[in-house]
């Protein structure tokens, strides 16, 4: 009973989605399916009447025969028309539904917390959802076909039971073993397919590597072609072997059970022919029985097939619903609007990433006034980038709290909070959009002209990129969508990301390892530009290189998630502590004997 309720819930859930996406076409499809289910009975009855009439009217072509023939022609014409209408309606419904599902999936992925992108469990279920999302469209179509099958089944049962109700029960009972077997193997197959998600993701990753430019140099230099192919084939063989085993068992079992209704039909026809030979039935009754048995078995099989398909798709939709149950741990529950300028305070902040036991930050305390310039220094993994992520509320603190303009950061609307920040992330990206869109994407609401965008490119040291672009600001970045697209080096991609950061209207700006991919001259130009651009902003930059600490009013040294030293460059050097040691190590590299 519980499984039946879940089955009904799946159908209602699917119909609800379909109603939102394409209700007009869904209703039309149901009407067409019902009409298509009823028309064959008209053909069966008319054919019986025609054969009986022709048998009794040898040599006579009367008006009744003509009417029957015209009616048969009209039925056939209607079936042909409805077939084309059905194809059109189905295509339109599928397109609207797929578009709706794609939009909902994209929306869901864009809204998820960043923590999920590091979760293999989430990635596995996301892979399954992306594979199975169109199952909802299949459910809708199978439900519509199921309605038609029930009409066919009901009509055949009524007409055949008037002749002999035992025949109806005989056909129906012989189909039950097939129903049970199909249900069992559908569940087995889907459970198996869920277990294959890691393998399918692995194969998908290898396919992706083979066509991505970023991997092309390594693949050719290290001659990875055979290794990657061998890796792919090994995974595929294991995947295929398991699938073959399950499908072979299903095919053998269901084939045997599917033969039972056909055997029953042959037995019924033998009895019918005996009655015809004895004169108890007419020749037309044979066509009537053939038609009704065909409709009954066809209706039963279609009802079972569509029902089992819905059941199989139900398991996929269960996965979709399970994915929809993922909830963000960073809740947007605040109602305050953040207005600049912005001050920030960390009060005894401790943090560890979800599903880990290691604390990345431990009892961090500091206060930054509006307009202050802060440099966070420390080796990789010391917690510098994590502080930025917490200020942006990509994660919430484990203990302690962060105050922004004196209020707990969680009291602000997330959109309003993030609107006041602009960030150059370590993992900078280029979008396969136009050069102009790659800049203004950080603040689409901002009204600007092309000259302002050009000025930002110059400030980021990226003017030469524009000069080399064949279509100016309209040039595509990468050749993914255009042969005239521009390919950028790592340093050039970082400059575009820097320009994107500088373009955004904000009160606080973060530079997370901003010079990592730049040459010394470009680094110098960038820092000089930053100095002139952030005068009215609260600013943070992180670095494990100390070449630009002179830009900061205060320096904080992080070691293993703890702030161990803070102050101006001069103050920290006078401490003769860890900061001084790191600074001298880096400075000594440039002390060359002449």
CA distance 445 to 491: 28
Task: Give me the residue label for tokens 């959802």.
Answer: 129
Q: Residues of 34-70 as b/e, b for ≥16 C-beta within 10 angstroms?
A: bbbbeebbbbbbbbbbbbbeeeeeeeeeeeeeeebee
**Model confidence band, residue 532 (pLDDT cutoffs 50, 70, 90):** low
Three-class secondary structure of residue 405 per DSSP: coil
What's residue 94's pLDDT?
Answer: 80
What's residue 544's pLDDT?
Answer: 67
What's residue 593's pLDDT?
Answer: 43
> 326, 312, 321, 322: which is closest to 193 by C-alpha?
312
What's residue 45's pLDDT?
Answer: 84
What's residue 455's pLDDT?
Answer: 87
> 388, 455, 475: which is closest to 427 by C-alpha?
388
pLDDT tens, position by position, 58-95: 656 677 888 888 888 898 888 888 888 888 888 888 88
Higher pLDDT, 297 or 383: 383
235 upstream amide cis, omega within 30 of 0: no
Q: How many residues are present in the chain?
A: 594
Cβ proximity of 362 and 438 under 8 Å:
no
pLDDT tens, position by position, 185-215: 767 776 777 677 778 777 887 887 777 766 7
CA distance 468 to 502: 21
Three-class secondary structure of residue 266 per DSSP: helix
pLDDT tens, position by position, 86-137: 888 888 888 888 888 778 777 877 777 777 777 777 777 777 777 667 667 7
**Model confidence band, residue 592 (pLDDT cutoffs 50, 70, 90):** very low
Average pLDDT for residues 411-416, to the nearest whole number?
A: 91
pLDDT tens, position by position, 503-527: 888 889 888 876 655 666 666 666 7
Identify the bridge partners of residue 407 per DSSP, sorted by sequence position. Answer: 404
Q: What is the Cα 372 distance to its own chain's centre? A: 42
pLDDT tens, position by position, 219-262: 765 677 788 888 888 888 888 887 887 778 777 777 777 777 77
CA distance 476 to 494: 16
For residue 351, pLDDT beyond 70: yes
What's residue 533's pLDDT?
Answer: 64
Domains of the chain: 2-324 (1.20.1560.10), 333-420+508-518+537-594 (3.40.50.300), 421-505 (3.40.50.300)
For residue 180, pLDDT beyond 90: no
Average pLDDT for residues 414-438, to the nearest whole number?
A: 85
Average pLDDT for residues 427-438, to the nearest whole number?
A: 83
Angle subtended by helix axes 197-211 and 120-132, to nearest 10: 80
């Amino acid at each position: 009973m519980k499984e039946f309720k879940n089955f009904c819930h799946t159908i209602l859930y699917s119909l609800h989605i379909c109603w939102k996406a394409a209700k007009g076409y869904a209703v039309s499809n149901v009407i067409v399916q019902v009409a298509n289910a009823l028309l064959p009975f008209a053909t069966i009855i008319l054919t019986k009447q025609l054969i009986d009439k022709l048998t009794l009217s040898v040599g006579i072509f009367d008006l009744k025969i003509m009417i029957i023939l015209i009616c048969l022609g009209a039925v056939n014409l209607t079936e042909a028309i409805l077939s084309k209408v059905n194809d059109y309606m189905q295509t339109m419904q599928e397109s609207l539904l797929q578009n709706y599902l794609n939009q909902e999936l994209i929306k869901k992925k864009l809204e998820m917390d960043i923590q999920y992108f590091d979760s293999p469990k989430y990635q596995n279920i996301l892979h399954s959802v992306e594979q199975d999302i169109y199952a909802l469209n299949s459910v809708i179509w199978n439900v519509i076909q199921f309605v038609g099958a029930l009409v066919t089944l009901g009509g055949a049962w009524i007409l055949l039971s008037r002749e002999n109700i035992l025949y109806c029960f005989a056909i129906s009972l012989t189909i039950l073993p097939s129903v049970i077997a199909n249900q069992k193997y559908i569940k087995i197959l889907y459970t198996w397919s869920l277990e294959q998600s890691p393998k399918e993701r692995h194969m998908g990753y290898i396919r992706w590597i083979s066509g991505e430019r970023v991997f092309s140099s390594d693949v050719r230099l290290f001659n990875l072609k055979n290794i990657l192919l061998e890796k792919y084939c090994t995974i595929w063989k294991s995947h295929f072997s398991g699938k073959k085993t399950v499908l072979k068992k299903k095919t053998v079992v269901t084939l045997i059970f599917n033969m039972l209704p056909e055997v029953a039909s042959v037995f019924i026809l033998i009895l019918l022919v005996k009655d015809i030979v004895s004169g108890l039935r007419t020749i037309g009754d044979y066509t009537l029985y053939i038609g009704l048995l065909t409709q009954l078995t066809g209706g039963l099989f279609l009802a079972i097939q569509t029902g089992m398909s819905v059941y199989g798709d139900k398991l996929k939709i269960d996965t979709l619903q399970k994915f929809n149950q993922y909830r963000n741990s960073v809740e947007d529950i605040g109602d305050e609007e953040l207005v600049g300028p912005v001050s920030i305070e960390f009060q005894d902040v401790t943090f560890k990433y979800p599903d880990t036991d290691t604390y990345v930050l431990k009892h961090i305390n500091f206060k930054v006034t509006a307009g202050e310039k802060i440099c966070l220094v420390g080796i990789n993994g010391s917690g510098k980038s994590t502080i930025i992520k917490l200020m942006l509320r990509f994660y919430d603190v484990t203990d302690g709290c962060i105050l922004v303009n004196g209020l707990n950061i969680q009291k602000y609307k997330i959109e309003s909070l993030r609107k006041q920040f602009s960030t150059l992330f370590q993992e900078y990206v280029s979008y396969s959009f136009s050069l102009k869109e790659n800049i203004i994407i950080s603040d689409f609401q901002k009204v600007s002209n092309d000259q302002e965008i050009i000025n930002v490119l110059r400030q980021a040291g990226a003017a030469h990129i524009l000069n080399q672009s064949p279509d100016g600001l309209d040039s595509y970045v990468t050749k993914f969508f255009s042969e005239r697209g521009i390919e950028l080096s790592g340093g050039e991609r970082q400059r575009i990301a820097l320009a994107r950061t500088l373009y955004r209207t904000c009160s606080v700006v973060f530079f997370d390892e901003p010079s990592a991919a730049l040459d010394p001259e470009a680094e110098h130009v960038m820092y000089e530009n930053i100095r002139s651009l952030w005068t009215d902003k609260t600013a943070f930059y992180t670095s494990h290189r100390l070449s630009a600490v002179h830009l900061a009013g205060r320096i904080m040294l992080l070691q293993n998630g703890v702030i161990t030293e803070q102050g101006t460059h001069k103050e920290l050097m006078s401490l003769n502590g860890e900061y001084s040691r790191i600074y001298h190590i880096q400075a000594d590299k440039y002390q060359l004997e002449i």
